[in-house]
Amino acid sequence: MSDPVRWGILGAGQIAKKFAAALKQLADARLVAVGSQSPERAESFGQEFDAPKRYASYAELANDPQIDVVYVATRHPGHNRNALLALGAGKAVLCEKPFALNASQAREVIEFARGKKLFLMEAMWTRFFPLMVKLREMLREKVIGEARMLIADFGFRAEFDPASRLFNPADGGGALLDVGVYPVSLASMIFGAPAKITSLARLGQTGVDEESAVLLQHAGGELAMLGCALRTNMPQEAVILGRSGQIRIHSPWWRPHSMTLTIDQDQKRAERKKRLRFNLPFARPISLSIIARVGSENTLELPYEGNGYGYEAAEVMRCLRAGKVESSVMPLDESLSIMQTLDAIRAPWGLRYPGDSRE
Ligand SMILES: NC(=O)c1ccc[n+]([C@@H]2O[C@H](COP(=O)([O-])OP(=O)(O)OC[C@H]3O[C@@H](n4cnc5c(N)ncnc54)[C@H](OP(=O)(O)O)[C@@H]3O)[C@@H](O)[C@H]2O)c1
């Protein structure tokens, strides 16, 4: 495929606009069509982002033969249904996070895509930023030794509005599915699937989680301490703690641009103890270069281009051109496992969505 990849956007809401703006910056991408339940929204979206075709139904968009890949940008409960529609029409699909409302719906879409040998990927955009590429490389190289713990959150303050999708159970509202999925996905990227899951939440007036704390223990005993909120601002930092150092991804870590690598002071302390124990005049002096190396702090700036949504789109196009049906950066088994974790996190809260009954 050497021609531009032809995109269709399904749903003309907030995130769809950001994604369409990002596509414009990619030379090998072309936005061909948008589909909205509202003809007016389809028309104005098409005008704003130069999409020549504007459909007033998702089915028409899915069946357009001039589209290679459909970006599903509807609210959480629509992801499963809309992804199935596009896959059913033979299209590759990039589906917004959370990948589905629950694991059962995620599994259905994955099995369908695999059965049809069609590309499918969760739009967990954070994974594709330059900083995340570098982070994975640093973890592979054990720059901080073996990674043992993660502290990460995604919490922000929204004014209470029962009409907003964030607070509406029918829209899969609550912090967990909207923003909690980010730290859960980060823990999964670093440590794999959790073996044990513990969580506490405060549910608000509409019955959805407004603040929560999550503890995950992974197969090798690694711990992830995660938090999310939609009524409370949180630091929005992520810290990965290793045996010999730590990496702090600065706020907002989920749209990352810089991180600080700190190598532990242990070696420095050990040298100091040695000096004390042997009484300074007889101890071998610590060389300045050692002091500079241990206990060092380095901040890496890794800026991103545009609004940051172009990286996930580029990954989709790279996969399509390579004939792949899955991304190795955001594999489908992992998207399923993340949905299973989200299900297990909210189960003890008694939080069920109307859409869960479709299981
Ligand atoms: N990756 C990110 O950074 C990011 C950021 C924000 C959101 N998201 C995800 O993107 C998805 C959409 O979020 P958003 O903020 O863009 O939402 P939104 O603007 O409120 O809605 C998105 C679209 O969903 C459809 N929709 C709206 N209300 C609906 C309803 N009551 N029933 C059925 N469909 C309805 C509409 O499509 P029509 O135009 O067809 O009517 C709407 O344009 C969510 O799953 C969210 O988690 C991702």
DSSP string of 210-268, one letter each residue: EEEEEEEEETTS-EEEEEEESBS-----EEEEESSEEEEEPSSTTS--EEEEEE-SHHH
**Where is pLDDT greater, at 61 or 280?**
61
Distance of CA 14 from the midpoint of ligand 1 (Å): 6
pLDDT band at 2 (very low <50, low <70, confident <90, very high): confident
**One-letter amino acid of 140:** R
Q: Assign domain 130-303 one CATH number from 1.10.260.40, 3.40.50.720, 3.30.1330.20, 3.30.360.10.
A: 3.30.360.10
Closest CA to 171 of 45, 57, 79: 79
**Where is pLDDT greater, at 270 or 131?**
131
Asked whether the beta carbons of 190 and 139 are under 8 A apart, the reply is yes
Ligand 1 atom having least distance to the Cα of 177:
47
Pairing of strands 92-96, 69-72: parallel
**pLDDT score at 266:** 66
**pLDDT score at 290:** 36
**Where is pLDDT greater, at 293 or 36?**
36
Q: Convert 326-335 to b/e letters by CB count within 10 Å (16 or more is b).
A: bbebbebebb
Give the Cα separation of 182 and 338 in Å (integer). 10
The pLDDT of 29-40, averaged and rounded, is: 98
Give the Cα separation of 289 and 271 in Å (integer). 13
**pLDDT score at 282:** 38
Q: Assign domain 5-127 one CATH number from 3.40.50.720, 3.90.79.10, 3.30.470.20, 3.60.110.10.
A: 3.40.50.720
The pLDDT of 340-352, averaged and rounded, is: 98
Residue 15 to residues 18, 21, 46, 95, 112, Cα–Cα distance (Å): 5, 10, 15, 12, 25
Percent share of the chain, pLDDT over 90: 89
Distance of CA 56 from the midpoint of ligand 1 (Å): 16
Give the Cα separation of 95 and 71 in Å (integer). 6
Mean of per-residue pLDDT scores for the chain? 93
- Give the global pTM: 0.93
> Is the C-beta atom of 116 inside 6 A of ligand 1?
no
Considering only CA atoms, which residue is closest to atom 2 of ligand 1? 15
pLDDT band at 296 (very low <50, low <70, confident <90, very high): confident
Asked if pLDDT for residue 55 goes beyond 50, the answer is: yes
pLDDT band at 134 (very low <50, low <70, confident <90, very high): very high
Residue whose pair of structure tokens reads 């259905």 in the numeric block: 108
The pLDDT of 320-334, averaged and rounded, is: 98
Asked if pLDDT for residue 297 goes beyond 50, the answer is: yes
Distance of CA 195 from the midpoint of ligand 1 (Å): 32
Give the Cα separation of 7 and 311 in Å (integer). 15
pLDDT band at 295 (very low <50, low <70, confident <90, very high): low
The pLDDT of 321-342, averaged and rounded, is: 98
**pLDDT score at 218:** 96
Asked whether the beta carbons of 32 and 6 are under 8 A apart, the reply is yes
Residues of the chain with CATH 3.30.360.10: 130-303
**pLDDT score at 109:** 98
pLDDT band at 359 (very low <50, low <70, confident <90, very high): low
Q: Where are the beta strands (DSSP E) in the chain?
A: 5-10, 29-35, 53-55, 69-72, 92-96, 120-123, 147-155, 194-203, 209-218, 223-229, 238-242, 245-249, 258-263, 297-301
For residue 117, is it left (φ>0), alpha (ψ between -120 and 50) or beta?
left
Distance of CA 81 from the midpoint of ligand 1 (Å): 14
Strand, helix or coil for residue 88: helix
**pLDDT score at 272:** 52
Q: Of 67-71, 190-194, 294-298, 336-340, which gets the smallest average pLDDT?
A: 294-298
Task: Indicate if the alpha-carbon torsion angle 179, 181, 182, 184 is positive or negative.
Answer: positive
**pLDDT score at 265:** 76
Direct distance between the N- and C-terminal alpha carbons of the chain, in angstroms, rounded to an integer: 38
Asked if pLDDT for residue 137 goes beyond 60, the answer is: yes
**One-letter amino acid of 228:** C
Token pair for 109 = 């879409």
Asked if pLDDT for residue 99 goes beyond 60, the answer is: yes
Give the Cα separation of 346 and 83 in Å (integer). 24
* φ/ψ of residue 95, rounded to 5: -115, 130
For residue 197, is it left (φ>0), alpha (ψ between -120 and 50) or beta?
beta
Residues of the chain with CATH 3.40.50.720: 5-127
pLDDT band at 291 (very low <50, low <70, confident <90, very high): very low
> Is the C-beta atom of 12 inside 6 A of ligand 1?
yes
Task: Indicate if the alpha-carbon torsion angle 129, 73, 151, 140 is positive or negative.
Answer: negative
The pLDDT of 23-37, averaged and rounded, is: 98
Distance of CA 115 from the midpoint of ligand 1 (Å): 27
Token pair for 137 = 């490389």
Residue whose pair of structure tokens reads 């939609």 in the numeric block: 230
Asked if pLDDT for residue 271 goes beyond 90, the answer is: no
Sheet holding 238-242, edge to edge: 194-203, 209-218, 223-229, 147-155, 238-242, 245-249, 258-263, 297-301
Considering only CA atoms, which residue is closest to atom 21 of ligand 1? 13
Asked if pLDDT for residue 200 goes beyond 80, the answer is: yes
Pairing of strands 245-249, 258-263: antiparallel
pLDDT band at 142 (very low <50, low <70, confident <90, very high): very high
